[in-house]
Amino acid sequence: MLPFNEGRIARVPDALFLGARAGVALHASQWPQLACVQTFRPQAQALERAGFAVSLDADAGRRWPLVLLLPPRQRDEARALYAQALALADDGATVVVSVANDEGAKSAEADFARIAGPVASLSKHKCRVFWARAGGGGDAALAAQWRQGDAVREVAPGWWSRPGVFAWDRIDAATALLIEHLPSTLAGDVADLGAGAGVIADALLRQCPGVRTVDLYEADARALALAERNLAPHAARATLDFHWHDVTTGLPRRYDAIVSNPPFHAQQREPRPELGQAFVRAAAQALRPRGELWLVANRQLPYEQVLAEGFTDVRSVAGRGAFKVITARRRA
């Protein structure tokens, strides 16, 4: 908000905010018609509580007099959003971007300038804010190329993903370890917490014939849409349900088993071990008596105490590299 507060850029009655986040500098009274786009459930809910309208995507048919953008760390996704922001702006409208210095602010500004043309910038609070006029120059062909940079694509036979989703082009080491040790005896109603694009749920459905329903809970709407596509071949085999949901707030029903590779970083990659702990507590509350939790975690994370609070028979089943697989039963 610095260039607005200093009068370098004028606020307009209606503006678009891509990657919007709630914060003390963003006031609904100053932006009464601000249209916020946010696909991460906790951030979307925070914006709604602050009085903003939130959607999962911008209306591709509308052009805006002002576009704000907080890009993600993943470079292909960020470049796609720079191109999208410019495409959604009216000719001559301002596009404003801000990036923290330790998230690559200088390279982000250089990328933006390649497709936007001349850029102005300010630095403060260990961040950089930069802006340009839509239609003011830049490489239009490169912008068109970047616009497709985060498109959904087939990364393995029958498996769809896109840049910006966790481990988008591979199965991460923790998930692979958990999949290797999921017992074929898991059965009944199962939940996958932090389901991503559906890798663990897919393995569960392939390896555990007794599973009759799988509920996938995921805070990233982009990942959840991929999971729904990736798991479509299992729809005749089991009942599947997909929830855009913040697991840390609890779960709406009970399960016979829960599987999870919980997050231990926030969106900006700072360590947040309390997120994984909240996943464990949510699992303990949502499991039926004697229900099973199968969890993969970083060896260094402090999960033992919270596991002891809600579970019995807590066991470390396997370990490899930085990760360990833990199983536990809910107290009767």
**Which residue in this structure is represented by tokens 């999921």?**
182
Last residue of a domain, one of 126, 147, 168: 147
Last residue of a domain, one of 147, 170, 192: 147
- Give dist(CA 24, CA 4) in Å, integer: 15
CB distance 226 to 161 below 8 Å:
yes
Q: Which pLDDT value is given to residue 331?
A: 81
Q: Which pLDDT value is given to residue 126?
A: 95
Q: Which pLDDT value is given to residue 323?
A: 95
pTM value surpassing 0.85 = yes
Q: Which pLDDT value is given to residue 265?
A: 62
Tokens for 219? 């805070």
Q: Which pLDDT value is given to residue 271?
A: 64
DSSP 270-299: -B-HHHHHHHHHHHHHHEEEEEEEEEEEET
Q: Are residues 80 and 219 in the same domain?
A: no
For residue 62, is pLDDT > 60?
Answer: yes
For residue 266, is pLDDT > 80?
Answer: no
Q: Which pLDDT value is given to residue 162?
A: 98
pLDDT digit string (tens) for 14-57?
Answer: 999 999 999 989 999 999 999 999 999 999 999 999 999 999 99
Q: Which pLDDT value is given to residue 305?
A: 87
Q: Are residues 190 and 259 in the same domain?
A: yes
- Give dist(CA 308, CA 315) in Å, integer: 11
Q: Are residues 74 and 12 in the same domain?
A: yes
- Give dist(CA 271, CA 293) in Å, integer: 23
pLDDT digit string (tens) for 66-86?
Answer: 999 999 999 999 999 999 999
For residue 13, is pLDDT > 90?
Answer: no
Q: Are residues 266 and 310 in the same domain?
A: yes
Q: Which pLDDT value is given to residue 302?
A: 78
Q: Are residues 108 and 245 in the same domain?
A: no
Q: Which pLDDT value is given to residue 332?
A: 75
**Which stretch of 46-55, 87-96, 175-184, 292-301 has the lowest confidence by average pLDDT?**
292-301
Q: Are residues 168 and 284 in the same domain?
A: yes
Q: Are residues 116 and 228 in the same domain?
A: no
Long-range pairs, 274-282, Cβ under 8 A, ≥24: 275/248, 276/301, 276/303, 277/302, 277/303, 277/306, 278/247, 278/248, 279/193, 279/194, 279/247, 279/248, 280/306, 280/307, 280/310, 281/306, 281/309, 281/310, 282/193, 282/247, 282/248, 282/249, 282/250, 282/251
**Which stretch of 17-21, 155-159, 244-248, 260-264 has the lowest confidence by average pLDDT?**
260-264
DSSP class of residue 142? H
Q: Are residues 139 and 169 in the same domain?
A: no
Domain with 234, as residue range(s), is 153-330
**Average of pLDDT values for 314-329?**
95
Count of domains forming the chain = 2
HSE of 136, CA atoms in CB hemisphere, 13 A: 19
Which candidate, 233, 227, 180, places its Cα nearest to that of 201? Answer: 227
DSSP 183-194: -TT--EEEEEET
**Which stretch of 151-165, 225-239, 259-273, 302-316 has the lowest confidence by average pLDDT?**
259-273
Distance of CA 222 to CAs 12, 143, 202, 234, Å? 29, 22, 17, 20
What's the first-to-final CA gap in the chain, in angstroms?
52
pLDDT digit string (tens) for 99-139?
Answer: 999 999 999 999 999 999 999 999 999 999 999 999 989 99
Distance of CA 187 to CAs 205, 214, 221, Å? 10, 10, 27
What CATH number corresponds to the domain at position 223?
3.40.50.150
Q: Are residues 52 and 178 in the same domain?
A: no
Q: Are residues 171 and 233 in the same domain?
A: yes
Q: Which pLDDT value is given to residue 303?
A: 85
Q: Are residues 211 and 264 in the same domain?
A: yes
Last residue of a domain, one of 147, 164, 181: 147
Q: Are residues 238 and 267 in the same domain?
A: yes
